[in-house]
Homo-oligomer: A and B are copies of this chain.
Amino acid sequence: MEGIGVFDSGVGGLTVLKALRKALPGEFFYYLGDTARVPYGTKSGETVVKYAMQNAKFLVSVGIKYLVVACNTASSYALDVLRKELSIPVIGVIRPGAEEAVPVTRGKIGVIGTRSTILSGSYLREIKKIRPDVEVFQKATPLFVPLAEEGMFYHPITLSVAEMYLAEMRDRKVDTLILGCTHYPLLKKAISEVMGSDVRLVDSAESIARHIKEYLKITNNLSNSSGGVKYFVTDSPESFKRVGEMFMGEEIEDIELIDIR
């Protein structure tokens, strides 16, 4: 059965998978978490391209009609190479995040992400390509990832951390905030409470789903099966299951440990 492939360095991409399953319930998904080599953010571009290519080739060998790179670092570095080497369409998370934010902003977009994502400036560049006159405020918010992995989605401590990181953006009247890390949608309620209910929080998942749907429609490839997911990890299925079930909000049954090298 031809499915949709999604890979990330670890569990973060599960928030993208969750949104895609909701938007495309008739599709079957293959999710690969490269847990043996997480995180990608601290590795060189060359290394990240190599890992991304290995992940993509594995998913292609399983049988996919579309590839989602649900990882900011791999989206930054590897998208061009993957598109050149693969014969199926490939989408990342950065351009779709920018496409989601630009049409709704009144002029001030905030971007939050890991330190490496913010340092790369990749969201800033994509936003400016679409609309150069938008003001962009960037902020690295590294504690959000471990807070999400601890399951503290709406905990008083998470609210304090959000206040610490986001007060400045709120005071600068940012009206649209890009959640530039796949972990962050889990903290939406806490982030929104700090930013205020009039600030739009956007992530890449909805825009990605739209792109995929459109492509599958045009190519007459939309599936109407009962859907489902098969998971692959490169290390520690137990800890992937523990954190992954919290992220997906459902039981994760079918996890296969693979050796990708």
Tell me the residues in window 227-258 of chain A with beta carbons closer than 8 Å to chain B beta carbons. Answer: 235-236, 239
A236 and B36 contacting across the interface, CB-CB below 8 Å? no
Question: Which of B42, B150, B160 has a CB less than 8 Å from the CB of A156?
Answer: B160
Interface residue A146 (Cβ < 8 Å from any Cβ of B): yes
Chain B residue numbers with a CB within 8 Å of A38 are 42
A235 and B42 contacting across the interface, CB-CB below 8 Å? yes
Interface residue A43 (Cβ < 8 Å from any Cβ of B): yes
| A164 closest partner in B (C-beta) | B157
Given contacts A38-B42, A235-B42, contact A143 B146 (CB under 8 A): yes
Interface residue A142 (Cβ < 8 Å from any Cβ of B): yes
| A147 closest partner in B (C-beta) | B143
Interface residue A44 (Cβ < 8 Å from any Cβ of B): yes
Chain B residue numbers with a CB within 8 Å of A235 are 42-44
Tell me the residues in window 143-194 of chain A with beta carbons closer than 8 Å to chain B beta carbons. Answer: 143, 145-147, 149-150, 156-157, 160-161, 164
Question: Which of B42, B115, B157, B236 has a CB less than 8 Å from the CB of A161?
Answer: B157
Interface residue A75 (Cβ < 8 Å from any Cβ of B): no
Chain B residue numbers with a CB within 8 Å of A36 are 42-44, 47
Interface residue A35 (Cβ < 8 Å from any Cβ of B): yes
Question: Which of B157, B236, B239 has a CB less than 8 Å from the CB of A160?
Answer: B157
| A242 closest partner in B (C-beta) | B115
A150 and B143 contacting across the interface, CB-CB below 8 Å? yes
Chain B residue numbers with a CB within 8 Å of A44 are 36, 235
Instruction: List A residues at the B interface (Cβ < 8 Å).
Output: 35-36, 38, 42-44, 47, 115, 142-143, 145-147, 149-150, 156-157, 160-161, 164, 235-236, 239
